[in-house]
Amino acid sequence: MSQQYASEQDLLAAVTARLQAHGVDPNIAAAVSGGVAEAETERRAEPVLPGDTALNVRLGGFVIRDDDLPFLDALSAVATAVAASTATAGVASPLLIAALTSVAKLCWNVWRKGIMLNATQVLAIGLLRAHGPLELAKLTDLARQKQPDIDLATMKAALRSLSELELNDGRIVALATVDASDTWRAHAI
Amino acid sequence: MPIFSVLFNEQAPVPRLPPEVAAQFAPGANVMILNATRAEFRSMPERPVLASNYVHEGYHLLQTVCTGYAFARAQRIKEVTLRSIRRSLWRDLRRNPGASALFFACNAAPEFLRRRFELDRIKNVAAVLIQWNTLHAIQMQAPANDHSLAGADVPDLFQDLALIQQELGEAGASGLSAWHIIEGGAAVFQLAYEATQTGADDLDATLTAGLPRFDADYGVAYAFARERCGARAAALFLPAAALALRYERPGEAFPGILEQLRTCEPGTEIAHARSLAGRRPRMAAAGRYLGTAAELSAWSWRRPWRRPHSYYKAPLAFLSRPDRPVDEIDLLGSPAQFFKLPHEFFQGLVLVTHDGLLAASTDSLELHMRAQLAGIQLRFDKRPRWEKQVLSDLSAWGRSVAQRMFAGP
């Protein structure tokens, strides 16, 4: 049901090993696992609101549940696609690694806050974070490199669904918004 | 009023716990929340980890119905929540005296008058006025970092709950708090249950190896006992914790009880704890002797509340029966009895999974109301969603009024 890791380093090593075992490029695997570990550390440091009277089974360290694994795999597939779409200086480029880490961190944060993002949504966020603001047509072209069957309507629906999401704590946030010139941009939470 | 109306919402909250919280128990509502799906819960015999976490939370239920301290705490949580809900209702009715009077008058009017003067429309206008004012008030008083509806509607509730929580976590001269005893007891019980499943014969070794998997504070009380009694702490811990929770300050009662229990012959810990319970040893630092939950709920002069606690009626009735097959010390002292408890013992417990509610009770309204009550206490209700819903209801009402005004004859 879940795997427990004593420290952030153990979590990082386990996630990297899993991704590499699934054939993910080592640099991309390191970027994704770095984003996941950062998101987990920040989430666990968030202040707890006073008055929580529940009695918990609270495990120590870091936990990855079985149902996290498909999301982790989807995340690494998107990271690979995003890396391919920005192929300028190869996957070892520090700028690209930093961008992939930030994409992984954002997506993992959103996932942990209770939002089940689908592959198209993750891809859209990934591309917008890596490339900056994009028009719908350009974004769809880039997405087609990973998902050839994607069309404008599907991408638009995915982006619209990202503009109003309810997090576990009740906040309603926008991960992607469009401006007057029909350019979409991604936002952190 | 918003949290009052939440109580009647039949769409129960389905919280998603963080991955490190495997399950939780809301004693003020007798609700257990599992970080699992309904299908996973139903196949629990094939899922030892889930079964073990269920045992941990089940032990909190046992503590609540077997010990005066945990029972009184559950009762206080329930009472302060219900008091806040009542306050919210009356405050909003007082805030809208005209609209409230109109609403109730229209509701109480006979049918022929309602049809003759179209009173339902007037009632709708009154309801809209109350909703509008309530929405405005909620938006004005919403705290910046708390997105729950209860946090904005009744912020005092969380001050009261924080006080209860502070008392639970306050360590005395022994360095132990009631929280250490309650959570330490549940963690040891869970590991002892796992040992019975795996056939491990050295319980102390199992506990020493197993406790670090929980958050650090779960093992504090056991480490305290081990420092004083060595490996024998494994046999003494649960009976001592069970007796300590019969006092007003369990953290202070625990060392004294442990000292008295360790004098018994190995293998007689449960029997010795039972005889010790009969003597009710007085310990100044431990405060008042509260007794068992059944005793506390039966003796009205000791009840610091107004109503009997119906959420735990079934297990308390079971434990009050003269022919009961097990007593409180048996239940809390060893995991052997847990899965032998009859179905009636769990009547009233509501289980919340990722995809819905499960309960031993068949009363759907009560089931949902208690899930909502736990949702209020644990901030599962969402203010932004409520605000959106109210605005959508108000605009739908506005549209229907406009349509009627501009409709042709």
Question: Is residue A52 one of the residues assigned to a domain?
Answer: no
Asked if pLDDT for residue B92 goes beyond 90, the answer is: no
Asked if pLDDT for residue B306 goes beyond 70, the answer is: no
Span A35-48, mean pLDDT? 89
Question: Is residue A176 one of the residues assigned to a domain?
Answer: yes
Span B272-293, mean pLDDT? 91
Establish if B115 touches chain A: CB-CB under 8 angstroms: no
Position A116 scores a pLDDT of 82
Span B236-240, mean pLDDT? 96
Position B196 scores a pLDDT of 85
Lowest mean pLDDT among A90-104, B141-155, B308-322: A90-104
What is the rounded end-to-end Cα distance, in angstroms, of chain A?
28
Span B6-20, mean pLDDT? 78
The reply to whether residue A58 touches residue B385, judged by beta carbons under 8 angstroms, is no
Please indicate whether residue B263 or residue B304 has the higher confidence score (pLDDT).
Answer: B263
Band of pLDDT at residue B221, cut at 50, 70 and 90 = very high
Span A47-74, mean pLDDT? 89
Among B33, B36, B212, the residue with its CB nearest the CB of A60 is: B212
The reply to whether residue B214 touches residue A59, judged by beta carbons under 8 angstroms, is yes
What is the rounded end-to-end Cα distance, in angstroms, of chain B?
39
Residues paired with residue B26 on neighbouring β-strands, in sequence order? B31
Question: Is residue B393 one of the residues assigned to a domain?
Answer: no
Q: Find chain B residues with C-beta within 8 A of A53's C-beta.
A: 26-28, 77, 161, 164-165, 377-378
The reply to whether residue B26 touches residue A63, judged by beta carbons under 8 angstroms, is no
**Distance separating alpha carbons of residues A174 and A162, to the nearest angstrom:** 6
Tokens 């961008």 appear where?
A: A99
The reply to whether residue B23 touches residue A56, judged by beta carbons under 8 angstroms, is yes
Asked if pLDDT for residue A141 goes beyond 70, the answer is: yes
A58, containing H or E segment: strand A55-58
Lowest mean pLDDT among A84-88, A158-162, B208-212, B402-406: A84-88
C-alpha neighbours within 13 Å on the C-beta side of residue A91: 17
B24, containing H or E segment: strand B21-26
Token pair in block for residue A121: 């949504």
Asked if pLDDT for residue B315 goes beyond 60, the answer is: yes
Establish if A60 touches chain B: CB-CB under 8 angstroms: yes
Band of pLDDT at residue A145, cut at 50, 70 and 90 = confident
Among B24, B35, B159, the residue with its CB nearest the CB of A54 is: B24
Position B5 scores a pLDDT of 80
Please indicate whether residue B308 or residue B147 has the higher confidence score (pLDDT).
Answer: B147
Lowest mean pLDDT among B31-35, B99-103, B162-166, B290-294: B99-103
User: What is the total count of domains within chain A?
Assistant: 1
- Inter-axis angle of helices B364-377 and B68-95, nearest 10: 90
Question: Is residue B128 one of the residues assigned to a domain?
Answer: no
Token pair in block for residue B363: 């009363």
Q: Which of residues 328-387 of B touch A (CB under 8 A)?
A: 377-379, 381-385
Position A150 scores a pLDDT of 87
The percentage of residues in chain B with a pLDDT greater than 70, rounded to a whole number, is 95
Band of pLDDT at residue B309, cut at 50, 70 and 90 = low
Position B307 scores a pLDDT of 56
Span A154-171, mean pLDDT? 90
Note the ipTM here. 0.86
- In angstroms, what CA-CA distances link B88 with B29, B82, B391? 19, 10, 20
Question: Is residue B136 one of the residues assigned to a domain?
Answer: no
Establish if A5 touches chain B: CB-CB under 8 angstroms: no
**Distance separating alpha carbons of residues A156 and A118, to the nearest angstrom:** 14
Asked if pLDDT for residue B304 goes beyond 70, the answer is: no
Establish if A55 touches chain B: CB-CB under 8 angstroms: yes
Position A90 scores a pLDDT of 57
* Burial classification of residue A89, based on how many CB atoms lie within 10 Å of its CB (0-12 exposed, 13-18 middle, 19 or more buried): exposed
Cβ neighbours of residue B179 closer than 8 Å, sequence gap 6 or more: B168, B169, B217
Position B78 scores a pLDDT of 93
pTM of the model: 0.90
The mean pLDDT of chain B is 88
Please indicate whether residue B245 or residue A180 has the higher confidence score (pLDDT).
Answer: B245
Question: Is residue A55 one of the residues assigned to a domain?
Answer: no
Span A75-92, mean pLDDT? 74
**Distance separating alpha carbons of residues B211 and B206, to the nearest angstrom:** 8
Establish if B102 touches chain A: CB-CB under 8 angstroms: no
Asked if pLDDT for residue B404 goes beyond 60, the answer is: yes
Q: Which of residues 10-69 of B touch A (CB under 8 A)?
A: 15-16, 18-28, 33, 35-36, 40, 47, 49-50, 53, 56-57, 60
Question: Is residue B325 one of the residues assigned to a domain?
Answer: yes
Span B37-45, mean pLDDT? 89
* Burial classification of residue A179, based on how many CB atoms lie within 10 Å of its CB (0-12 exposed, 13-18 middle, 19 or more buried): exposed
Position B254 scores a pLDDT of 96
Question: Is residue B143 one of the residues assigned to a domain?
Answer: no
Question: Is residue B148 one of the residues assigned to a domain?
Answer: no
Position B190 scores a pLDDT of 96
Asked if pLDDT for residue B305 goes beyond 80, the answer is: no
**Distance separating alpha carbons of residues B375 and B31, to the nearest angstrom:** 10
**Distance separating alpha carbons of residues B63 and B76, to the nearest angstrom:** 15
Span B312-318, mean pLDDT? 91
**Distance separating alpha carbons of residues A111 and A73, to the nearest angstrom:** 13
Please state whether beta strands B21-26 and A55-58 pair in parallel, antiparallel, or not at all (unpaired): antiparallel
Q: Find chain B residues with C-beta within 8 A of A51's C-beta.
A: 157-162, 165
Asked if pLDDT for residue B237 goes beyond 80, the answer is: yes
User: What is the total count of domains within chain B?
Assistant: 1
Question: Is residue A109 one of the residues assigned to a domain?
Answer: yes
The reply to whether residue B28 touches residue A53, judged by beta carbons under 8 angstroms, is yes
Band of pLDDT at residue B303, cut at 50, 70 and 90 = low
Question: Is residue B268 one of the residues assigned to a domain?
Answer: yes
Question: Is residue B235 one of the residues assigned to a domain?
Answer: yes
Comparing alpha-carbon positions, the chain A residue that sits nearest to B21 is A58
Asked if pLDDT for residue B44 goes beyond 70, the answer is: yes
Span B135-147, mean pLDDT? 88
Cβ neighbours of residue A108 closer than 8 Å, sequence gap 6 or more: A35, A36, A39, A40, A75
What's the distance, CA A2 to chain centroid? 20
Lowest mean pLDDT among A73-77, B192-196, B324-328: A73-77
Among B49, B146, B216, the residue with its CB nearest the CB of A60 is: B216
- In angstroms, what CA-CA distances link B33 with A46, A59, B15? 22, 15, 8
Size of interface A-B (CB pairs under 8 A): 122
Q: Find chain A residues with C-beta within 8 A of B148's C-beta.
A: 169-170
What's the distance, CA B164 to chain centroid? 13
The reply to whether residue B384 touches residue A58, judged by beta carbons under 8 angstroms, is no
Span A29-36, mean pLDDT? 90
Q: What is the extent of the structural domain holding A14?
A: 2-45+60-186
Position B201 scores a pLDDT of 78
Span B82-110, mean pLDDT? 87
Q: Which of A176, A53, A188, A92 is nearest to B179 (CA)?
A: A53
